[in-house]
Amino acid sequence: MTTVSEMTVPAPGVQAVRPDDHRGSWLPTGPMIAKRFMELTRRRGLMIVLAVVTVGIPTIFLVVRLLAHAFDPKAFGPAGGFNVFTGTVAGALYIFGFIVAATLGCTAGSADLQEGVFRHLVVTGRSRLAIYFARIPAGLAIIMSLVAIGYGIVCLVCSFAAPTVLNYDGANVPVGLSRSAFVAWSGDHYGEVLCDYPIRIQGPGPKGGGAVPVQAACGANGTLDLNSLPPGVPHPSTAQLKAQAMSAARQDYSDYNKLFLAPPIGLMVRTGLWVELEAAVGFIVGLGLASLIGQRTISVILMIVLELILTPIFLRAHIPYMINVQRSIVGVAMDHLGPSAIPVAMGGGGGPGQLLFISEARTDAAIVVVAWLVVWTALGAWRMATRDS
């Protein structure tokens, strides 16, 4: 038998609250996150676009390369390899991943308001902050999974369909040689090396024209034929040709040492984390921006302008007294956090340390990225908490 003293009797006009009711908490619950996840995945048009861009485009590109190489291997090189990996990541996954992640974030941040259901969410008694924060893990689960699938396909093809011979400056060179072995190989293959490197044979040249490019003695198939040199150019000895080839090899070893047949596992792991971070930045910033201004279309346009216009400008332009402002752009900071082996694509990814771009320490770049994530999350949550229902 339960007595009156054992029951919790609410005061008149006050609704009874169960001990397990977390509607007032700012932390989202599992069902709230699952609900936001289902709401986003039910947008079939958006999901199709996300899948096509993050998975479909890289897959189609690599399938075409595989078929072309299978039907005509002499005209079309292998479908995978180190160069294909770096180019695909910089040219497709990094930039397009940011844009589609931002589109998803802008949709998640403005859909409830534009569809007129924001008031219905508020009257449930749930914390507005919990409603906002529930969108972050839900959206990240979608976009990061799709990016991971697309990136995994790229890694598999580039690893298992890589070339068997390294082509360096037009010469087929064994991969993984030490400095001394690379120099010795260049000396033994001086004809191939000299015909592919910009080396000049010293001598008076025809009519006193000075040094003559060694390519003047190279045939169409890349073989060295000294008899084809112009009149008046002395024929160098074999020892001189070997010395020139070995000298060029010593100078170029640092560049050769950065090339691989297939992307190394360590590089693929670092690049994958970097691409996923870029997608997370695009989603969270887009979510906060759309929640702040309440418009999806305008927010998407602003995010595209940030990635494709502002980031390349601030990355390349050396504006006096504004270097620190340029470094505070998230796209510039993300560029300096990327692996050095990934080339720059439209100023949006990779290539830190190159002289044409502004410099930034990795620690400072990491602080900038964290600051963007925190500030835009705070702005979006604040607007959600203060918006009229």
Residues 42 and 82 reside in one and the same domain: yes
304 in any annotated domain: yes
Give the per-residue pLDDT at 358. Answer: 81
9 in any annotated domain: no
Residues 31 and 133 reside in one and the same domain: yes
Residues 127 and 195 reside in one and the same domain: no
CB 386 within 8 A of CB 351: no
Q: Which of 302, 351, 352 is nearest to 109 (CA)?
A: 302
Give the per-residue pLDDT at 124. Answer: 61
79 in any annotated domain: yes
167 three-state secondary structure: strand
331 three-state secondary structure: helix
Residues 51 and 180 reside in one and the same domain: no
8 in any annotated domain: no
Q: Which residues contact 224 (CB under 8 A, 6 or more apart)?
A: 190, 191, 194, 195, 214, 217, 218, 241
Residues 56 and 148 reside in one and the same domain: yes
Residue 171 DSSP class: E
Domain that holds residue 378: 26-164+262-386
The strand ranges marked E within the chain are: 166-168, 171-173, 200-201, 212-213
Cα gap 194→219, rounded to integer Å: 12
Q: Which residues contact 237 (CB under 8 A, 6 or more apart)?
A: none
Residues 292 and 205 reside in one and the same domain: no
Domain end, chosen from 256, 290, 316, is at 256
CB 300 within 8 A of CB 152: no
Structure tokens at 340: 């050095």
Give the per-residue pLDDT at 100. Answer: 95
88 three-state secondary structure: helix
7 in any annotated domain: no
2 in any annotated domain: no
Model pTM score: 0.76
CA distances from 368 to 2, 330, 331, 336, 361 (A): 59, 6, 10, 11, 11
CA 279 from chain center: how many Å?
9
Give the per-residue pLDDT at 340. Answer: 81
Domain end, chosen from 256, 271, 301, is at 256
Residues 322 and 222 reside in one and the same domain: no
- The total number of structural domains that make up the chain: 2
Residues 354 and 328 reside in one and the same domain: yes
Cα gap 290→284, rounded to integer Å: 10
Residues 45 and 140 reside in one and the same domain: yes
Give the per-residue pLDDT at 352. Answer: 41
Give the per-residue pLDDT at 8. Answer: 47
Q: Is 201 exposed, middle or buried (0-12, 13-18, 19+ CB in 10 A)?
A: buried
Per-residue tens of pLDDT for the chain, all 389 residues: 444 444 444 555 444 445 555 565 767 788 888 888 998 899 999 999 999 999 999 999 999 999 998 888 877 878 888 888 988 998 889 999 999 999 999 999 887 776 666 555 655 656 778 888 888 999 999 999 999 999 999 999 999 988 777 666 666 777 777 788 877 877 777 667 766 655 544 444 334 333 445 554 565 555 665 655 555 556 666 777 777 777 777 777 777 766 677 888 999 999 999 999 999 999 999 999 999 988 889 999 999 999 999 998 888 888 888 888 888 999 999 988 988 878 765 544 444 444 467 888 899 999 999 999 999 999 998 988 887 66
The label of the residue with tokens 């990541």 reads: 89
Q: Which of 65, 54, 86 is nearest to 268 (CA)?
A: 86
Residues 280 and 159 reside in one and the same domain: yes
Give the per-residue pLDDT at 242. Answer: 76
Domain end, chosen from 256, 284, 303, is at 256
Residue 232 — φ and ψ, nearest 5°?
Answer: 90, -5
342 in any annotated domain: yes
